[in-house]
Structure 1
């Protein structure tokens, strides 16, 4: 990326060498997700609080590949291993990192994407390679080892899948849970449905607009997954309560993006049961009015959940290895690196969350 809003260009760079605790990964697939276009074209206007790397910069968030070189102080990772590279980078030395909360680190940065804190410019210098290239460097703490059951193309979706997985974990989803997924047919929401099934949720409610896509979502687990179009006359809250004896959903995961109307989020919020948890992962734009007195009186919680940890990512790989989660529903469409700009254009016609667009260097 040479300039915001302009097409990506192919540049020639030297193959990087690993520092002592880093590895070099030969990229086999890199995900192209809907938000990438927003970052490339609008990040300065839409999200001025986020940091961009100094341009020109190699972008690409979700990469999987094969380890091609390891640093002298790398343990447990060998050349030839298949891995997913979590793009999240953090310092490892601050109080947040030392106490096991690296996502709150002031250096927290997505390599190949954007950063969240004052330490992000330095992190971009230390890790300048995103996934839209043939090679990248990564710290050993960022690697998820992949079983044979997870293809590189599937692993290139790990970021969006992991965001949903972490949200479910934060809400304590298990066999006792009823889960409402707002935006269930989208790239984020579909992953929430898949992993809610894997974690044993007894009933999953999904919303969306495209009725054909919602039918495909219901087919993931007929009778256990129910869907509702946001265009229906009955509101989401009333619909969920009609299927839960008036109680509502114990967990609401909101996967609607910045362009979604606030009322859609609020209607899903109203579907939450007493003692329930609402987790936002889609970032509906603008200020959303919430009656905090009612939230307190109903003993509810409201979370914002960002990304996921390498621990979460390894748990997901383990669930896939055992067959607890079925990711075969993803429909991969592959593009060579030279067609990355075409891939971004095709996203507008995607088959909802079932489509998985990847660049294969």
Structure 2
């Protein structure tokens, strides 16, 4: 077993990551050591390593030097003595969701509701998140990383490491669809259908049997591409061409959609969210997963009268990740739409800066760490 590894580490904000040689970590009893084969780059990574502490001081970054990398996939290289269901050689996606494991939320299976909920290789949702970063300081921008057994998703042979590097956004969309109680025969509205979350939600909604998917966006070319995936089941409208809510009602005979997935980014105007909410049927659900930063004025009496549920959705469980992997295994979920933009680890800074030029949710930016000599 090799003793040292290469990792891209951030030593200070607004500085490029550097390639450092550091010791290979040893897994604790309930952990595994994963040799990283690919790590997806989220579109928001540049903001996290440059602007996050100013924008969201209540969601701290790990102390520097830090190894980022949110969406790693690879091969199990070593297992702790208490690991029971994973073996060396298993192909896995490593969900970055970390929690304390012992609070009421964790014991009930709701790890994302834990006070210490932290996204490994990214940021924490808790001011006390450094405790979790100390336990798991390695993200996917490295040759090896440790991870708890509970975080692993086993990958079928027909799911590549590069595709698994998109599981964070796929899973976030899947978690939102599960919160919306999506199912066969339903009609939904995806606000921001051409983005990373929107395209993922569309592919998953098709796999889950929805009869009609309505979507909004701003890029005509990308809107045409998303509709071409399933022309008989997808309809779109350009934002600004009229009221989205009224359009959704018109497309459903005045009834309204079963649920809305708000996948708009942080800079989207609040008025867009309010408009789309009005397209949901009585008793429907509005699931917010994109994170519009502006305050959204909500008519709570309308919520009450229409019995509409407004739900915040954040990340997904490892069990839901396994469901997605099984959907790929059976062919229900087709990820061939992903256009991989692959960078070696030494070009990680270029990859992070270049992701702004992506083709919406179709581009998949992935970093590939070098394979250690012991595995060549």
The alignment's TM-score, normalised by the length of structure 2, stands at: 0.94
Question: Contact 1:259–1:285 at 8 Å: present in 2 too?
Answer: yes
C-alpha displacement of 1:176: 3.2
In structure 2, the residue matched to 1:107 is 116
In structure 2, the residue matched to 1:213 is 222
Asked if 1:18 corresponds to 2:27, the answer is: yes
Question: Within 1, Cα distance between the matches of 2:318 and 2:82?
Answer: 19
Asked if 1:172 corresponds to 2:202, the answer is: no
In structure 2, the residue matched to 1:253 is 261
Q: Deviations over 1:122-164 (max 9, x none)?
A: 1100000001111100000000000012110010000000000
Runs of 5+ unmatched residues, structure 1: none
Question: Within 2, Cα distance between the matches of 1:82 and 1:162?
Answer: 18
For these two proteins, the number of residue pairs brought into alignment is 360
The ranges of structure 1 where at least 4 consecutive aligned residues each deviate by more than 6 angstroms after the TM superposition are none
| Other structure's SS at 1:44 match | helix
In structure 1, the residue matched to 2:60 is 51
Asked if 1:275 corresponds to 2:283, the answer is: yes
Question: Within 1, Cα distance between the matches of 2:104 and 2:355?
Answer: 40
**Aligned counterparts, 1:92-131, within 5 A:** 92-131=101-140
C-alpha displacement of 1:46: 1.2
C-alpha displacement of 1:44: 0.9
In structure 1, the residue matched to 2:311 is 303
Question: Contact 1:164–1:191 at 8 Å: present in 2 too?
Answer: yes
Match of 2:250 among 242, 253, 260: 242
Asked if 1:264 corresponds to 2:263, the answer is: no
C-alpha displacement of 1:118: 4.0
Question: Contact 1:241–1:271 at 8 Å: present in 2 too?
Answer: yes
Question: Within 1, Cα distance between the matches of 2:243 and 2:368?
Answer: 42
The alignment's TM-score, normalised by the length of structure 1, stands at: 0.98
In structure 1, the residue matched to 2:365 is 357
Question: Contact 2:163–2:338 at 8 Å: present in 1 too?
Answer: yes
Question: Contact 1:108–1:119 at 8 Å: present in 2 too?
Answer: no
Question: Within 1, Cα distance between the matches of 2:14 and 2:127?
Answer: 24
Question: Contact 1:205–1:240 at 8 Å: present in 2 too?
Answer: yes
User: C-alpha root-mean-square deviation of aligned residues, in Å?
Assistant: 0.9
Select between 337-346 and 64-73 the one with higher mean Cα deviation: 337-346
Question: Contact 1:182–1:189 at 8 Å: present in 2 too?
Answer: yes
Question: Within 1, Cα distance between the matches of 2:249 and 2:114?
Answer: 39
| Other structure's SS at 1:13 match | strand
In structure 2, the residue matched to 1:335 is 343
| Other structure's SS at 2:350 match | helix
Q: Deviations over 1:19-57 (max 9, x none)?
A: 111000000110111111111111011111102111111
In structure 2, the residue matched to 1:190 is 199
Question: Contact 1:21–1:140 at 8 Å: present in 2 too?
Answer: yes
Asked if 1:89 corresponds to 2:98, the answer is: yes
| Other structure's SS at 2:51 match | helix
